[in-house]
Amino acid sequence: MKVAVVGATGLVGSMMCRVLEERKFPVSEFIPVSSERSAGTEISFHDKKIKTILAAEAINAKPDIALFSAGGNASLELAPQFKNAGCTVIDNSSAWRMHPEVPLVVPEINADVIEPHHRIIANPNCSTIQMVMVLNPLHKKYKINRVVVSTYQSVTGTGKAAVDQLINERQGVTGKMAYPYPIDMNILPQVDVFLENGYTKEEMKMVNETKKIMRDASIAVTATTVRVPVMGGHSEAVNIEFDKDFDLTEVRSILHNTKGLIMDDEPSLLKYPMPLTAKGKDEVFVGRIRRDESRNHCLNLWIVADNLRKGAATNAVQIAEYIREKFHS
**Catalytic annotation, pick one of 17, 139, 234, 298:** 234
Residue 327's SS3 state is: helix
Q: What is the pLDDT of residue 39?
A: 87
Domains of the chain by residue range: 2-124+312-327, 127-307
87 given a catalytic annotation: no
At residue 329, does pLDDT exceed 80? no
Rounded CA separation 324/329 (Å): 6
Residue 19 vs residues 46, 57, 249, 318: alpha-carbon distances, Å: 11, 24, 35, 10
Rounded CA separation 192/204 (Å): 10
- Average pLDDT in the chain: 97
Cα angle 253, 212, 13 (rounded to 5 degrees) comes to: 90
Q: What is the pLDDT of residue 219?
A: 98
Other Cβ atoms closer than 10 A to 97:
23
Q: What is the pLDDT of residue 222?
A: 98
Q: Could you give the residue ranges of the DSSP H alpha helices within the chain? A: 11-22, 55-60, 72-84, 107-110, 126-142, 160-171, 201-213, 248-256, 275-278, 314-327
pLDDT in tens, 119-137: 999 999 999 999 999 999 9
- Mean pLDDT of all residues in 149-176: 97
* AA letter at 226: V
pLDDT in tens, 48-89: 999 999 999 999 999 999 999 999 999 999 999 999 999 999
**Catalytic annotation, pick one of 87, 126, 297, 298:** 126
Other Cβ atoms closer than 10 A to 99:
11
At residue 143, does pLDDT exceed 90? yes
Residue 90's SS3 state is: strand
**DSSP string for residues in 113-151:** G--TT--EEEPPPHHHHHHHHHHHHHHHHH-EEEEEEEE
Q: What is the pLDDT of residue 249?
A: 97
- The band of 218, judged by pLDDT with boundaries at 50, 70 and 90, is very high
pLDDT in tens, 300-318: 999 999 999 999 999 999 9
Domain at 127-307: CATH architecture: 2-Layer Sandwich (3.30)
Q: Enter the pTM of the model.
A: 0.97
17 given a catalytic annotation: no
- CATH 3.40.50.720 applies to domain 2-124+312-327: yes
Taking Cα atoms as reference points, which of 105, 154, 267 lies closest to residue 113?
105
- The band of 164, judged by pLDDT with boundaries at 50, 70 and 90, is very high
Q: Do domains 2-124+312-327 and 127-307 have the same CATH topology?
A: no
- The band of 232, judged by pLDDT with boundaries at 50, 70 and 90, is confident
Q: What is the pLDDT of residue 130?
A: 98
Angle at which helix 126-142 crosses helix 201-213, to 10 degrees, equals 40
Contact between residue 101 and residue 82 where contact means Cβ atoms under 8 Å apart: no
* End-to-end Cα, the chain, rounded Å: 11
Residue 114 vs residues 141, 184, 285, 291: alpha-carbon distances, Å: 24, 42, 26, 36
Q: Percentage of the chain with pLDDT > 90? A: 97
Q: What is the pLDDT of residue 233?
A: 96
Q: What is the pLDDT of residue 305?
A: 98
pLDDT in tens, 187-204: 999 999 999 999 999 999
